[in-house]
Amino acid sequence: MMASTLYYAPGACSLASHIALEEAGASFETVRLNLMAGDQRAPGYLAINERGRVPALVDDGWVLTENTAILRHVARLHPALWPEAARDQAVADEWLAWLSTNHHVAYAHVRRPERYTTDEEAHPAISAKGVDTCGDLFTMTEVRLSNGGWAVGGRYSVVDPYLLLFWTWGRGPALRFDMPERFPHWTAHARAMAERPAVQAVFAREGLDLPA
């Protein structure tokens, strides 16, 4: 991979793409955005990603957004991060879809209820329902991880950093799940991730606490 630039925000969904690039040993630079300060809405960044969200990966003027697209792109360029068998590849795609269209959407209801109604009085109810939905979805993911090891076929892939992202959100201030107690298999996965040098490097760069 040619030298690229990843636009990210600490602890945001861009964490998954950040880890994947580090795992790949890719040549890349990073630009940190402060979402609370509104960096994602600054004209300079909107010229890169008109959606005003992270991540964005820029390579010689070519821009790619959305975690699942970036993860698959990194895996295509670095096949060691993608399963070999056709069925395992299908399962990896299934995981990426499951996490992006279920976990991420439910979490958005918790953090961004204003996206779903203009009635400010309804925001607390939307957020509360989002927490309940996240709990149900996390339980389903916990069951899928109950056999131990990596997510797909016993082999590390770009699915694993995406799983770690949502684990970190589970322990975070919006959900406040007791991850070791409620989701021990997922927590074992997160702890295994924390032993990987790439994860350690990215968490240090983003100022995040490793799973413990």
pTM: 0.96
pLDDT per residue as tens digits for the range 60-69: 999 999 999 9
pLDDT per residue as tens digits for the range 87-121: 999 999 999 999 999 999 999 999 999 999 999 99
206-210, Cβ contacts within 8 angstroms, sequence gap of 24 or more: 206/8, 206/10, 206/11, 206/15, 206/18, 206/32, 207/10, 208/10, 208/11, 208/15, 208/168
pLDDT per residue as tens digits for the range 129-155: 999 999 999 999 999 999 999 999 999
Residue-level pLDDT at 1: 45
Tokens of 117: 């109604």
